[in-house]
Amino acid sequence: MMDQVNKQGMVLPQDVYALQLATINGINFTRREIDVIACTLSGKISKKIALLLSISPKTVENHMRNIILKIGCNNQTGIIDFVEKTNKFSLVKNHYSNLLVQHTFESELKKILKVASKRNLSGLIIYIKEQQKDKMQFFNHFTSNLQAAGINIFIEHPEKNALYFCLENKIKLHHVNHIICHLDAALADDEVQLIQLINKNPYAFVFISTDGDASVTIPKELSNAEYVSLQEQENYYFFVFEVLKKLLAPLSLDEYLSVFKQKYRDFSENPIRFNSEQHPIFESNHQKKTHPSIFSINLEPKNV
């Protein structure tokens, strides 16, 4: 499971358990088993667990049976007793809070889908193949979130120094409404051509960054582009909302964001995050940053 964490330590919400909870008292558990254990520890019955995890009650019962067999207990009370006697008790409780946050996030995306789907929107995500192999899981997760909100997404990963050619051709091929670019410093030679291409197209261009050391300002020559940085957002969830606000404008997402923020605060009264240095996708580093050109930095963007 550790290979799911990239070189820079970025961890996606559903994989947090891999660092701390994959093994409890020498017993290995799957991610979904940990989800079920966390819900059980919080007193949820099978039907409620199924609803929270978006799986069937029968699947919950199968996981419960496997957990009981692994632990060697007789029932759900035995599962709770097992966890309470380990040094992972607080981590499991925090994991349940993470599940609540993720469920709320996905619920708000479904609400957005109901209004956004009427607009028949599509987007193209561009990132550099050589530089972003370790970011594939992030892009896949990010793409699924945008699609859940009603945006049909295509992904292209051109070779180094081929961004302009890729954009010029793929925009025509996919007939997209939005372009989401994740750039690399090696593309500086393409800056003039890229600016011309962006400005002459009526599409919504959004540049994204997940690099903790990078922040950008959009060149003055660009009149048709936006920028969203994960590091300037409180966490991954707010980052996705901010991107959606750019893509779905003038549609207002304030209602959905407000609901999520309130529930997020409620679930976060007791810290639900792990160490932010280990998990920057959950907790951003708000240190003051410099602002180089957008074309001269390294940008980075269920169920069983």
| Segments of the chain assigned E as strands | 23-24, 27-28, 121-127, 151-156, 178-182, 204-209, 225-229
Which of 99, 130, 145 is the C-terminal boundary of a domain?
A: 99
In a domain, 274, yes or no: no
- C-alpha to C-alpha distance for 217 and 221, rounded to whole angstroms: 11
Phi, psi (deg, nearest 5) at residue 29: -125, 145
Residues 170 and 75 in one domain: no
Domain range spanning residue 46?
2-99
- The confidence score (pLDDT) of residue 274 equals 35
CA–CA–CA angle 303, 280, 143 (5° rounding): 40
In a domain, 299, yes or no: no
Please, what are the averages of pLDDT over each run of 10 residues along the chain (304 residues)?
35 63 93 95 94 95 97 94 93 89 94 88 76 69 92 80 72 75 55 71 73 57 77 87 90 93 82 38 39 29 42
Residues 89 and 231 in one domain: no
Residues 7 and 83 in one domain: yes
- The confidence score (pLDDT) of residue 229 equals 83
- C-alpha to C-alpha distance for 75 and 166, rounded to whole angstroms: 57
Residues 144 and 209 in one domain: yes
Phi, psi (deg, nearest 5) at residue 221: -70, -20
The CA–CA distances, whole Å, from 199 to 195, 225, 293 equal: 6, 8, 17
In a domain, 294, yes or no: no
Residues 216 and 141 in one domain: yes
Query: Cα(first)–Cα(last) distance of the chain, in Å?
Result: 16
Residues 125 and 71 in one domain: no
- The confidence score (pLDDT) of residue 277 equals 38
- C-alpha to C-alpha distance for 93 and 99, rounded to whole angstroms: 10
Q: Are residues 21 and 34 in contact, defined by beta-carbon separation less than 8 angstroms? A: yes
- The confidence score (pLDDT) of residue 188 equals 47
Number of domains making up the chain: 2
- The confidence score (pLDDT) of residue 273 equals 40
Phi, psi (deg, nearest 5) at residue 183: -100, 175
The CA–CA distances, whole Å, from 38 to 32, 46, 174 equal: 10, 12, 43
- The confidence score (pLDDT) of residue 278 equals 38
For residue 94, give the CATH number of its domain.
1.10.10.10
Q: Which amino acid is at 133?
A: K
Residues 11 and 81 in one domain: yes
Residues 17 and 159 in one domain: no
Cα 49 off chain centre by:
22
Residues 57 and 182 in one domain: no
In a domain, 32, yes or no: yes
For residue 242, give the CATH number of its domain.
3.40.50.2300
Q: Which amino acid is at 280?
A: P
Residues 116 and 256 in one domain: yes
In a domain, 44, yes or no: yes
Q: Are residues 100 and 262 in contact, defined by beta-carbon separation less than 8 angstroms? A: no
Which of 99, 120, 143 is the C-terminal boundary of a domain?
A: 99
Q: Are residues 297 and 29 in contact, defined by beta-carbon separation less than 8 angstroms? A: no
Residues 50 and 186 in one domain: no
